[in-house]
Amino acid sequence: MRIQKLLNKMEEEKLDAFLVTNMKNIRYLSGFTGDTGKLLITHNHKYLIVDGRFLEQAAKETNVEVIDYDKSFSKTIKRLCDENNAKKCAFESNDVTFGEYDALKKVMDSIELVPDNTTIENIRLVKDEGEIKLIKHALKIALETFEEIKTKIVPGVTEREISAEIEYMMKLKGAEGVAFETIVASGKRSSLPHGTATDKKIEYGDAVVIDMGALYNGYNSDITRTIFVGDMSKEQERIYEIVEKAQKKGIEAIKVGEKSSVPHNLVVEEFAKDNLDEYFVHSLGHGVGIDVHERPFLSPRGADTFQSGMIVTVEPGIYLPDKFGVRIEDMIMIE
Ligand SMILES: [Mn+2]
C-alpha cells in the first residue's frame, strides 16, 4: 500500500528506480527494523539489500525480496538497476554522506541519480490507521506518566531525578525509549526553551517546564506541561493564561485546506497584543510520527496544507529571560 503510493509517484516523475537509504523511511515502507540496509524499488521488483547480520530478520519482517549485499552495497544496487533496465534512479540526498554518494556515483556510470527528499516525506504527511493507533498509544504513555510524575515535583527534588523517573516510568508502560531527551527546566532555567535536566533542585515558587515524549513501536509522542510549585505569582498566572489562550487560538486556526504557516502567525499576533511576541522564540509546532519533528511545520516558513490524517503539535511559549518561562504543548489530529 505505502510502496504502491511511491510507485505511483515514480510513474508520474518518470523514475525507473528509487533508492531508499533513510532507515526510518525503509521501516515505513517495508517494515524492516534493522539498523543497516538499502531499499531499492523498481516498477517490477522491491529489494531490501542487507548484510549477513540482517538476512534472517529482513526475511521475517518484510514481504520484499531480501538480497545479500555481497560485500558492496553500491555494486549490488548497480547490478539490480541493470537487471531492471533502470536508467533514472532517485536517491535521498539529505541522508547520504558525500563519501557514500561518491562511491555510488562511481559505479552508477550510465544511470542518472536524481536527488529526492520529498516524495516519501509527502506520503508520510498523512498518517494511516495503523500509524494513528501507534501515535495515540505513544501519547497515552506520556500523558499517564505526566499524571504520575506531577505529584512528585516538590521542593528539594532535582530536575535530573524527575527526568530519570519520567523515562523509567515510560519504559515500564511499554515505551521502547524516549522520543527525545526529556526537558525539565525549573525556576530561572524555565526560560530556556530546551533546558534539559540538571542537578538543580526544585524550589518553592518555581515554574517547571516538562517537555517529554515516548517512542512506541517506532512512533513518537511529544507534550509539554508547565507547573508551578506552591502558589503562582501574579505574573506567572498572567503569562500562563496568555499562553493558554494563544494555544487555543492556534488550535482553532488548524483547518483542512489551511496553510501550515497560518496558526503560527495568528499566535504571534495574539502575543503582540500584550507586547510579548518577542518572547516567543520558536515555531508553533510540527508534525509528529516516525520522526518527533517532521512536516508539516507550523512556522512562518511552513508551506504545507493541512489535510485530514495529519498529526501536529501546538506549543506556544513565552520565555522571560532570568525570570521564568511557560510552554504548553498538545498533539492535535486533523480530521
Ligand atoms: Mn514539540
Dmax over CA atoms of the chain, in Å, equals 72
Q: What is the pTM of this model?
A: 0.94
- What would the pLDDT profile of 212-232 be if each residue is shown by its tens digit? 999 999 999 999 999 999 999
For residue 206, the model assigns a pLDDT of: 98
CA of 246 to the centre of ligand 1 (A): 16
CA of 213 to the centre of ligand 1 (A): 9
Q: Quick one: fold of 126-333?
A: Creatine Amidinohydrolase (3.90.230)
Q: Give yes or no for residue 1 having a pLDDT over 90.
A: no
The closest alpha carbon to 307, from 299, 315, 295, 316, belongs to 295
CA of 56 to the centre of ligand 1 (A): 37
CA of 36 to the centre of ligand 1 (A): 28
CA of 316 to the centre of ligand 1 (A): 10
Task: Report the C-alpha gap between 299 and 293 in whole angstroms.
Answer: 12
CA of 291 to the centre of ligand 1 (A): 11
CA of 30 to the centre of ligand 1 (A): 27
CA of 133 to the centre of ligand 1 (A): 19
Q: C-alpha cell of 211?
A: 517537555
CA of 223 to the centre of ligand 1 (A): 7
* Type and span of the H or E element at 225: strand 223-228
What is the mean predicted confidence (pLDDT) over 86-98?
Answer: 97
pLDDT-based confidence at 259, cuts 50/70/90? very high
CA of 211 to the centre of ligand 1 (A): 8
What is the mean predicted confidence (pLDDT) over 13-20?
Answer: 97
What is the mean predicted confidence (pLDDT) over 33-41?
Answer: 97
For residue 106, the model assigns a pLDDT of: 94
Q: C-alpha cell of 41?
A: 524499488
Q: Mean pLDDT for the chain?
A: 97
CA of 180 to the centre of ligand 1 (A): 10
CA of 95 to the centre of ligand 1 (A): 23
Cα distances (angstroms) measured from residue 109 to each of 13, 76, 86, 105, 311 = 21, 14, 12, 7, 41
Can you give the residue ranges of every domain in the chain? 2-124, 126-333
Q: Where do we find the cell 531527551?
A: 181
Which CATH number is 2-124 given?
3.40.350.10
| Cα four-point dihedral sign 130, 136, 142, 145 | negative
For residue 118, the model assigns a pLDDT of: 96
- What would the pLDDT profile of 142-161 be if each residue is shown by its tens digit? 999 999 999 999 999 999 99
CA of 251 to the centre of ligand 1 (A): 14
Task: Report the C-alpha gap between 161 and 175 in whole angstroms.
Answer: 19
CA of 284 to the centre of ligand 1 (A): 9
CA of 191 to the centre of ligand 1 (A): 16
